[in-house]
Amino acid sequence: MNTRPVALVTGSRRGIGLAIARKLATDGFDLFITGTDPDSAEETLADLRQYGARAFYLSGDISDLQVHDRWVNQIQRDTGRIDCLVNNAGMGAVVRGDFLELLPDNFDRVISVNLRGTMFLTQAVLKVMLQQPRDGRPKSIINVTSVSASHASPDRLDYCVSKAGLAMWSQGLALRLAGEGIGVFDVRPGIIRTDMTAGVTEKYGRLIANGLVPAGRWGEGDDVANVVTSLASGAFAFATGSVIDVDGGLSIGRL
């Protein structure tokens, strides 16, 4: 019988996802991480295991629905349970620019990763999670969306649409799962220092310096991880359906 809770964190080999996985490991979770490059996974697994966690790698692209059942079956074989799904995997716009020039293939790619793949992986996980005995352990689905779920960026509307869709998915899931004792949360990072934002460091550094973020600094992966692990602990179970902005005050309306 596995005595540690088990979390699946998608897109967790770097950036926000890795910070979340590390914090969950220190908080007593065993981990499954996902990615498309198994050759480089061992370093990440070794990193997580130093915190006392059992850590496993699930290889594949979340947009490929064929891999979801394989992932879930491996989780059942290796640990026999899953208590927390953190939907963190995502990608930015393939090309930033005028929406009138957006290519359907680029739109489809962003949607397939950020929304379609995430939705159907959640479905596959829940079919297992709902069969587990209600043994008092906290269970949660935590969707890492973005401030872009509510704040439009005209040069990457495909990304914004994908995150807004995931935000609505979170609301529907919260209603469906409240009676099952599974908390659902929408965590919205703002401007976070990651590989994804490396190409716009100068732009956003300047905007932050000019007051865009009231907290006056970049967000870090640990800022998001601290919120996610608190939600995974079950301490906020009755707040299911909540949206948590992790953006240093960026999304607060101002005059």
Task: Please state the rounded mean pLDDT for residues 149-165.
Answer: 95
Residue 1 has pLDDT above 70, yes or no: no
Mean pLDDT of the chain: 94
pLDDT at 176: 98
Residues 6+ apart with CB under 8 A from 234: 137, 138, 140, 183
- Residue 81 identity: R
CATH class of domain segment(s) 6-193+221-246: alpha beta
User: What pLDDT, on the 0 to 100 scale, is given for residue 145?
Assistant: 97
174-219 per-position pLDDT tens digit: 999 999 999 999 999 999 998 777 777 888 899 999 999 999 999 9
- Check pLDDT > 90 for residue 255: no
Instruction: Report yes or no: 75 and 121 within 8 Å, Cβ to Cβ.
Output: no
Alpha carbon separation from 21 to 70, 93, 105, 131, 187 (Å, rounded): 21, 25, 32, 25, 15
How many angstroms separate the CA atoms of 84 and 231, rounded?
10
Question: Taking the model in full, what pTM does it have?
Answer: 0.94
Instruction: Point out the residues that are catalytic.
Output: 159
Residue that is written with structure tokens 């870090």 in the block: 220
What are the backbone dihedrals phi and psi of residue 182, each rounded to the nearest 5 degrees, phi first?
-110, 115
Over residues 3-46, the pLDDT tens digits come to 899 999 999 888 999 999 999 999 999 999 998 887 778 999 99
CB 167, CB 145: distance < 8 Å: yes
Token pair belonging to 17 = 């996802």
Asked whether the predicted pLDDT for residue 88 surpasses 90, the reply is yes
C-alpha 25/C-alpha 179 separation (Å) is 28
Which structure tokens are listed for 224? 């998001």
- What are the tens digits of pLDDT across the range 96-150? 999 899 999 999 999 999 999 999 999 999 999 999 988 889 999 999 999 999 9
CA angle 201, 21, 67 (to 5 degrees): 100
Determine the Cα–Cα distance for residues 10 and 18; give it in Å rounded to an integer: 9
The label of the residue with tokens 């009755």 reads 238
Q: Closest Cα partner for 188 from 244, 150, 253, 229?
A: 244
Tokens representing 46 are: 């070794």
Per the CB < 8 A criterion, the answer to whether 88 and 143 are in contact is no
Strand partners, 25: none
